[in-house]
Structure 1
Amino acid sequence: MSQLYAKNLLGRLLVVAMTGLTTLLAGTAQAAAPGITGPTFYLTAQTANLNQPDGAAVYAWGYGCDTAHTPSGFNPPVSLMPGANCPTMQVPGPTLIVTEGQTVTVNLTNNLPTAAGNTSILFPGFQAASTGGVAGLLTQEAAPGGTVSYTFTATSPGTHAYYSGTQGDLQIEMGLYGAIIVLPATVPTACTTGYAAKNLSAEAAHHESDFRLSKSAYDHPKTCYDREYLFQFAEMDPNIHNQALAQVTALAGCIAGAPACSLEVPTEPYHPAYFLINGRSMPDDMDANYAIEYPHQPYNGNPHMHPGEQTLIRVIGQGRWQHPFHEHANHVRILGRDGNLIQTPPDSTGATELAGMLMFTTDTTPGQAFDGIFYYTGRGLNWDMYGHNPVSADPLALLTCTPDANGYNTGDPTAVNYFEWCQDHNKPLQVAPFGDVASGGPATLPDPNILTNGAWYSGSPYLGPDATTRATGPTSVFQPSNIQANPSNERGYAFMWHSHNEREITTNNVFPGGMLMMMLIDSREFVIDESN
């Protein structure tokens, strides 16, 4: 069995078996890529506890916003994301959002316990100059209670990491890391015409706000996107964190620089028990951004999209381990790494093509970032995922599908089945359906209570608010879908996105947990709310 076939097969099984997972997630806001805007930032390094799904509160260090200086702004703006905030300590640190060509200044104050010693920030990929502080091995450092300033030019668009350059084996493990997003200075014309314009019109037609930080990831016409998410992968060994806390407590009140006023925390052997997406483990990562139950883990991991959207995923490996991450439902087209767009040499006209690979499982090398495009259209399912029926009395079932040059229904961005793969229009899934869907398909669906663990299934393999009715008929009872609390207009497909290292989808060796989330693909009728 080929990798692609196996992936498609598993994806189809997940579509049927996990369609109704949206029930468990309904009402939560989605991810977006929230952060604070520059080009001048005032950060502090402090301590706090990180809440985990097993009830633990793990002692950690992290960057946050200095209370003496209000951030210049939030992006998305507070008008769109009213809950936006920047605590004095968070993991990951505040996402710093700047524009290509800007001169960026980051001021860091060290408010860690005195025994933790100096701290600093590295900005890989940028030529940073520093003022103040004291000399360190890799960069200027802020002594306990002291401040250091770093200045660099944001020379290249894309996603970049920042992290401590002081005793990295301990300080990065403790949580001193974050992301920089550099937006392109110019947006290619292609990102405001064609499919890009139609996708935006489709969102507007269904009353969705535009939460993108930009219209393109790079200064290249083929890096346009419709929706974006930032995911920072890391792991935590609680033994290291507990030892750091014990030593900090024992050395409270010691004098900075004194021989006995320093930590001696062993970081090997390394046995992480928590595997994090944006500082949270599953299922906590599916709660809202800025949720009050995670005061120091403000960013979530809960992506949504509609069929046909180009979804930009920004990913950084922030721990010390590689994390092979598998995005079900499609490959990911890698655009660039660490702000370096992967493209062919210019042709005779100066034009270039994207040259990044399609990845079945994306790799997150420690300290490295990548930008990639993910999309899903339902092409290749071999059934009409909207449950259309040309002889039905259901108006939605009578929708037409007029293929464009690429085979998709894109003539009317307001249509419920905008971007449907027309080759599958009116194709039935079921050989002998119970309800309003035409018969003759390739499969007979089994009892949902047997196949899908009861209420984890919406009762329908179709998208849209009337999907269950089309699958069961107006009077049929297809349990457990009718006892669920899904929003009335949501019937989406849920695809697992997770680490392919099996231990990393556990929390303290309990499954499910860890580095796992769901990509939820919703019909156009469902408004994807990214307001917090």
Structure 2
Amino acid sequence: MIILVCFRPGVILASAPGITGGRGAPVFNLVASAGTSSQPDGASVYTWGYGCGKAGAAPGASLAVAPAGFAPAALASISTCPIMQLPGPTLIVTEGDSVTVTLANELPVAAGNTSIIFPGFKVTATQGVAGVLTREAVRGATVTYTFVASAPGTYSYHSGTQAELQVEMGLYGAVIVLPKTPPANCQTNALGTQTDYRLASSAYDHPQTCYDREYLFQLMEMDSTIHTATLQQVQDCNLAVSANPAAVCVPIAVKTEPYHPNYFLINGRSMPDDMDAQFSPAYPNQPYNGNPHLHPGETMLIREIGQGRVQHPLHIHGNHARVIARDGTMLLSTVDQTSLAGPLIFTFPTVSGQTVDALFQWTGKGLNWDVYGHTYAGAPVGPSNAGSGDPSPCYPDINGFYTRDSNPAATPGVTPNYGEWCADHNKAIPITPPDPTIVANGLWYGGSPYLGLQTIPSGSAQFISTPRPPGFANQNPGAGYAFMWHSHDEREITTNDVFPGGMMMMMIIDPPAAKIDETQ
């Protein structure tokens, strides 16, 4: 499915922001507390979450500790950590780091103890009191967890105390471990002159895990009846304590079965909220969005986590994704350990508790028409080079794309048709777009419903017979393709039983020269 868009959103932010706690031995001071989450139907749902507490300051000054030899330019500019958030702050560390996480329990009195477990790591817990799965923090006290980030990859963390309730209430988050020494073939300037927001140049210590952009998707469901019942018991406890400070509250006992979730979340938000900017003041406790952007030919690292208790079939459009790892473990060939052997998928099973890393590309290869919209009145048809009258020639590399490996080379972020599949260059599209001189189309119509030229020759026509008025310019250079990425479970693309909503977002393919602004 391709949905045509004739606008470019405002600020587009990196979808893998988080916090760090210093180099080598990062320290994170998290607080578990109560708040609310905003839903598209106007509901404000009582929620618990991890955050940075009353100080509201992230433990660490920058967004990520970059591996040796890699220095992204603007990571520090989007570092933030609310008092509490849904999901919890993404903890970003580097392979080999000795990580310390101290958790303070500021949940309501009736909630009792709380904790964090870190699947995939060998954890030592100190302070606190003994619990079923790990040591726990009683209300008003702390517990400390230490572990070595032994291997790169995407991991989860969540409460290990009364998990059927506390995880449902929002006590979960992600850990990203960056490779200490990315492979030499993974380029540190893969985006040319455009700002580089990657956390690293590769996902793993493996030459086939290079990427250009990355996005983290944490999938979770929520049964608001559980949250309402929890709030009622919290309020009852608070009234009892206010009337008699010596009163002892009965621990929260909420029915969690039968389970009927009515909100379905990507990074703590439902559609359309998940397509708003990161750290939007409209969602003070839900800072992360789900709005991936990509240029043709770039490689996207998809970090995906199933945080809930049910399976969510996240379906992607535009191309398959190559799974490179599950639960932080690379999928290698049993015959040749130097080769990745993960499957190509177009639907992520999103198994509860499992993390998946996958690589995705969009090139427009094989569509048999020019996705860049180069064809205009008088242009030759078919692959062309300099001297043919084509303002944007396509020189195929060994794989047939116009890239830095072509001769002459193209430059990402500079060459307007970088990454183009040259065999389809200048082939006419199979439809007739509207006449751009018709007022109903508006000044934002770029002459093509597709990526389109960044500059349109004055008086020429692109795909159409009606010339533009003299001096007519492309008013919408950021127009691109929008592919719907969504759950394939129909109930999960609703918000409280109203369609559309839930686990749904758009993956945008921007023109190569259009800036993808991921700052905040």
TM-score range for the pair, normalised by the shorter chain length: 0.7 to 0.9
In structure 1, which of residues 511, 523, 531 is the aligned counterpart of residue 499 of structure 2? 511
Query: Offset of 1:66 from its aligned partner?
Result: 3.4
SS at 2:19's partner residue?
strand
TM-score using structure 2 length = 0.86
Taking the TM superposition and a 5 Å limit, the aligned residue runs for 1:379-528 are 379-389=365-375, 392=378, 398-410=391-403, 411-413=409-411, 414-430=414-430, 460-464=448-452, 465=454, 470-472=462-464, 475=467, 488-528=476-516
Query: Which of residues 276, 294, 310 is equivalent to 2:299?
Result: 310
Larger relative helix fraction: 1
Which whole-Å CA distance do the structure 2 matches of 1:362 and 1:396 have between them?
45
Report the CA distance shift for 1:187/1:82 in structure 2 as closer, same or farther (over 3 A): closer
Aligned partner of 1:46 in structure 2 is: 33
The 8 Å contact of residues 324 and 331 in structure 2, kept in 1 or not, is answered as yes
Confirm or deny: 8 A CA contact 1:164 1:172 kept in the other structure. yes
Is this contact kept in 1: 2:19–2:58, CA < 8 A?
no
Conserved 8 A contact 1:28-1:287: no
Given candidates 23, 45, 49, the residue that maps to 1:62 is 49
1:300 CA drift (Å): 0.6
Q: CA deviation at 1:360?
A: 1.9
- Taking structure 1 as the reference length, the TM-score comes to 0.84
Cα RMSD (Å): 3.0
CA contact (8 A) 2:481 2:509 kept: yes
Residue 4 of structure 2 aligns with which residue? 19
Paired residue for 1:250, among 219, 236, 246?
236
- Partners of 2:122 and 2:148 within 8 A in 1: yes
Moved more, 304-313 or 351-360: 351-360
Kindly state the Cα deviation for residue 426 of structure 1 after the two structures are TM-superposed.
1.2
Deviation digits for residues 356-406 of structure 1 (CA, Å, limit 9, x no counterpart):
111121111111111110100000211011122376489995311111110
Unaligned runs of 5+ in 1: 1-10, 437-446
1:221-370 aligned within 5 A: 221-252=207-238, 254=241, 260-345=249-334, 347=336, 352-370=338-356
Alpha-carbon spacing, 1:164–1:422, altered in 2? closer, same or farther (3 Å)? same
Name which of 83, 88, 97 aligns with 1:93: 88
Q: Per-residue CA shift, 1:238-263, capped at 9, x if unaligned?
A: 10000000100001154999764311
Contact 2:307–2:353 (8 Å) recurs in 1 = yes
CA offsets per residue over residues 66-118 of structure 1, 9 Å max, x none? Answer: 34675112325895564532111000000000000110000000000010010
* 1:259-289: CA deviation from partner (whole Å, max 9, x where unpaired): 6431111111111111100000011011111
| Inter-partner Cα distance in structure 2 for 1:474 and 1:109 | 67
For residues 465 and 111 of structure 2, the distance between their equivalents in structure 1, rounded to whole angstroms, comes to 65
Who is 1:184 aligned against?
Answer: 179
Match of 2:168 in 1: 173
Identity %: 55
Alpha-carbon deviations, 1:164-219, whole Å to 9, x = none?
00011100000000000000011101102xxx85x422xx1xxx210000000000
Distance across 1 between alignment mates of 2:300 and 2:246: 49
Report how far residue 345 of structure 1 moved. 3.9
CA distance in 1, matches of 2:15, 2:371: 26
Q: Which residue of 2 aligns with 1:110?
A: 105
Q: Say which is worse superposed, 84-93 or 382-391, in terms of deviation.
A: 382-391
Q: In 1, are the aligned partners of 2:446 and 2:476 still within 8 Å (CA)?
A: no
For residue 462 of structure 2, give the secondary structure of its aligned residue in structure 1. helix
Instruction: Tell me, yes or no, if structure 1 residue 200 matches structure 2 residue 191.
Output: yes
The question of whether the paired residues in 2 share the 8 Å contact of 1:390 and 1:398 is answered with no
Q: Label 1:366 to 1:488 Cα distance change in 2 as closer, same or farther (>3 A).
A: same
- The higher-RCO structure (CA 8 Å, 6+ apart) is 1
How many angstroms does 1:30 deviate by? 3.0
Equivalent in the alignment of 1:5: none
- Looking at structure 2, the residues matched to 189 and 393 of structure 1 have their Cα atoms a distance apart, in angstroms, of 42
Which of 5, 12, 18 is the matching residue for 1:35?
Answer: 18
Decide whether aligned partners of structure 1 residues 461 and 184 sit closer, same or farther in structure 2, where only a CA change above 3 A counts.
same
Instruction: Report what 2:406 is aligned to.
Output: none
In structure 2, the residue matched to 1:144 is: 139
In 1, are the aligned partners of 2:213 and 2:300 still within 8 Å (CA)? yes
Instruction: Indicate how the Cα distance of structure 1 residues 26 and 256 shifts in structure 2: closer, same or farther if over 3 A, else same.
Output: same
Question: What secondary structure does 1:35 align onto?
Answer: coil
Corresponding letter in the other structure for 1:59: Y
Q: CA deviation at 1:460?
A: 3.1
Contact 1:346 1:352 in 2 (8 A): no
SS at match of 2:186: helix
Q: Distance in 1 between matches of 2:389 and 2:499?
A: 39
Indicate the SS of the match to 1:135.
coil
Supply the AA of the counterpart residue of 2:178: L
Query: Is 1:72 matched up with 2:60?
Result: yes
**1:122 pairs with 2:107:** no
1:216 maps to: 202
Which position in structure 2 is the counterpart of 1:439?
none
Alpha-carbon separation, structure 1, partners of 2:142 and 2:518: 35
Any idea what SS the aligned residue of 1:420 has? Answer: coil
Q: Residue by residue, what CA displacement relative to the aligned partner does 1:301-331 show, whole Å, maximum 9, x if unpaired?
A: 1110000001001010111110001110111
Q: Contact conserved, 2:62 with 2:75, CA < 8 A, in 1?
A: no
